[in-house]
Amino acid sequence: MASAASWSGRTVLDLGCGSGFHLPRFAATAGRVYGVEPHPALLRLAARRTRSLTNVSLLAGTAQAVPLPDASVDVVHARWAYFFGPGCEPGLAELDRVVRRGGAAFVVDNDPERSTFGGWFRRGFPDVDPVAVERFWSLHGWSRERLEIAWTFDSRADFEAVVRIELPTDVAEEVLVEHPDATGVDYAVNLWWRRF
Ligand SMILES: C[S@@+](CC[C@H](N)C(=O)[O-])C[C@H]1O[C@@H](n2cnc3c(N)ncnc32)[C@H](O)[C@@H]1O
């Protein structure tokens, strides 16, 4: 992301920031960081995480109704939050409104067509159509970076807990039986991004 559009000294919006995990990293070099999150309990966690960071502001809101003025943000980051392809057009209209000309937006999501985790995801969520998702983003002028990441855990118990969070129960149990010694997995990600 930084090689495509630096946020150093600039204004970053983390849309659907959840518990704010990524906010301190942006805040380390950004001028100002906004975290927008609809879920009150997660917003409170994000506020607690960033309470010592004077350049971070947290706002209740959604991708469809971003609580920021027009042309007020340089870089938007939405990671596994709302922007999952067809259906997210209201959020894209909000990006057009809040991102300054010359700014950029990044969306991080699963790539079900690659990696061991991608195969588990396809089994768990067969209704997700990767071809339709790719067509959606390219029709809207977004580019894709194919990334390979990995889950690594210190213990089998942690790995099992996260598999059970991420996948429907039946698929999670199948996966755990099929990979009895795993404490991590290779994981393919699509980074969708565009300039404004
Ligand atoms: C899987 S979590 C990811 C959280 C965070 N981006 C991260 O990477 O740690 C999905 C987040 O999207 C938020 N969310 C759900 N609907 C949303 C919407 N319409 N607009 C913005 N965020 C939304 C959820 O409340 C949740 O915090």
Q: What is the 3-state secondary structure (H, E, C) of the chain?
A: CCCCCCCCCCEEEEECCCCCCCHHHHHCCCCEEEEEECCHHHHHHHHHHCCCCCCEEEEECECCECCCCCCCEEEEEEECCCCCCCCCHHHHHHHHHHEEEEEEEEEEEECCCCCHHHHHHHHHCCCCCHHHHHHHHHHCCCEEEEEEEEEECCCHHHHHHHHHHHCCHHHHHHHHHHCCCCCEEEEEEEEEEEEC
CB of 37 closer than 6 angstroms to any ligand 1 atom: yes
Residue 173 in tokens: 């149990």
Are 35 and 55 in contact, with CB atoms under 8 Å apart? Answer: no
Task: Output the CA 178–ligand 1 centroid distance in Å.
Answer: 30
Specify the residue with its C-alpha closest to ligand 1, atom 4.
Answer: 18
For the chain, list residues with pLDDT below 70.
none
CB of 49 closer than 6 angstroms to any ligand 1 atom: no
- Give the pLDDT of residue 21: 98
Task: Output the CA 22–ligand 1 centroid distance in Å.
Answer: 12
Probe residue for ligand 1, chosen from 14, 26, 79 as the CB with the greatest number of ligand atoms within 8 Å = 79
CB of 82 closer than 6 angstroms to any ligand 1 atom: yes
- Give the pLDDT of residue 47: 97
| Alpha-carbon span 82 to 193, nearest angstrom | 15
- Give the pLDDT of residue 35: 98
pTM for the predicted model, two decimal places: 0.95
CB of 16 closer than 6 angstroms to any ligand 1 atom: yes
| Alpha-carbon span 125 to 39, nearest angstrom | 24
**Burial of residue 100 (number of CB atoms within 10 Å: 0-12, 13-18, 19+):** middle
Are 133 and 87 in contact, with CB atoms under 8 Å apart? Answer: no
Are 187 and 163 in contact, with CB atoms under 8 Å apart? Answer: no
Sign of the alpha-carbon dihedral angle for 150, 156, 158, 160? positive
Task: Output the CA 75–ligand 1 centroid distance in Å.
Answer: 17
